[in-house]
Structure 1
Amino acid sequence: MHYGEIKNCDIANGLGVRVTLFVSGCTNHCENCFQPQTWDFCYGKPFTGETEDELIRLLSPDYINGLTLLGGEPFEPKNQRALLPFLRRVRRELPQKTIWSFTGFTWEELHDPAAYPRCEVTDELLSLLDVLVDGRYVDELHDISLRFRGSSNQRIIDVPKTLQSGVLTLWDERANI
């Protein structure tokens, strides 16, 4: 896997101050994507053990709420397989940090055995997330008033509550302040 950028102290892509990892590779190719350069799976730098170590270091301060995965597309099967060991490490070494991910795929696609993004690691990868922002960016539904989303079709999903109940549960910001 490659990544295009790491941002430290990001306040735009999840609750609180976060470290964001922009992975490379995306087959969704949303019209007017804000980072079309990340569609290329070889864009940027290789994601290595040193990259993981740097991210753990950046995540360690108390004022950092957690990690956010963006893209490109974290839920491309190739990227899921590369991210899984890293997210296990984050959970093991920094269990107090939250993990958010953005995906152009929907929750339903990620659970459909016949859908492209679903692979042998999808369920475990999802189980390591706190929040998933799902759905392709749709330019006609662009709305700058939406927090943590670019278009109104996208949902902010509370992953632990959804997995526990078996019913898709939207994230409630008021419950997390």
Structure 2
Amino acid sequence: MLNLLQEAGPTLQVAGFLDHSFVNGEGFRSVVFLSGCNHHCPGCHNLSMQSFNYGDTLSSKDVFEKIKKNAPLINGVTFSGGDPFEQSERLVPLLENIKSLGLTIWFYTGYTYDQLLENESFSQLLPYIDVLVDGRFEEAYKTDTKKYIGSSNQRILKLLDGSIQEELCF
């Protein structure tokens, strides 16, 4: 494990950061919004974050230090965007360090679980993820009645060691 308190680690294009949130996953969470998305879903509520250049270039260490500062108060960290899998090759050290704090990790993605498995770069992240919200936002299936998803075609999947354990309903 790369110790992000001693080394800077890879850089990430960060669109935004929330210290505390109740709406981006179960429990009290910090949220990292990563830039870049190739899905271009009509009706996307984070349209500006689709750009791979939006936001600030930060070291993994800087992001980890923000999360570590919040660790006594939060249950976990949520990654959203954009689509965090678009920066997958740079995320492993950060995810390893977050896990060392005993925090849960949620990921929001427009990719389906099966699509993630087919991509070696994407699938390497799955063992670190506790809950995966998968599937593109589909405006025709927009919902305000289901917690943690934007459209009813999306799934909330509990993962263990990268494998689906169950589909969660909130």
Per the normalisation by structure 2, the TM-score is 0.87
Looking at structure 2, the residues matched to 142 and 125 of structure 1 have their Cα atoms a distance apart, in angstroms, of: 28
- When the two chains are superposed, the root-mean-square deviation of aligned CA atoms in Å is 1.6
- 1:107 paired with 2:113, answer yes
Identify which range, 154-163 or 82-91, moves more after superposition: 154-163
Aligned to 1:56: 68
- 1:10 paired with 2:31, answer no
- 1:171 paired with 2:168, answer yes
Aligned to 1:136: 136
**Residue number among 42, 45, 51 corresponding to 1:31 in the alignment:** 42
Per the normalisation by structure 1, the TM-score is 0.84
Looking at structure 2, the residues matched to 162 and 82 of structure 1 have their Cα atoms a distance apart, in angstroms, of: 18
Aligned to 2:82: 72
Aligned to 1:44: 55
Structure 1 residue runs of 4 or more that deviate by more than 3 Å after TM superposition: none
Indicate the structure with greater strand content: 2
Task: Give the count of matched residue pairs.
Answer: 158
Secondary structure, aligned partner of 1:91: helix
User: Does the aligned pair in 2 maintain the 1:162–1:168 contact within 8 Å?
Assistant: no
Flag the 1:153–1:172 CA change in 2: closer, same or farther, 3 A.
closer
Looking at structure 2, the residues matched to 162 and 91 of structure 1 have their Cα atoms a distance apart, in angstroms, of: 14
Aligned to 1:156: 156
Deviations 1:153-175 (A, max 9, x none): 00000111872xxx6621255xx
Flag the 1:162–1:129 CA change in 2: closer, same or farther, 3 A.
closer
Secondary structure, aligned partner of 2:137: coil
Q: How big is the shift at 1:123?
A: 2.9
Query: Aligned AA for 1:158?
Result: K
Question: Unpaired runs of 5+ in structure 2?
Answer: 1-11
Looking at structure 1, the residues matched to 67 and 36 of structure 2 have their Cα atoms a distance apart, in angstroms, of: 20
Identify which range, 154-163 or 131-140, moves more after superposition: 154-163
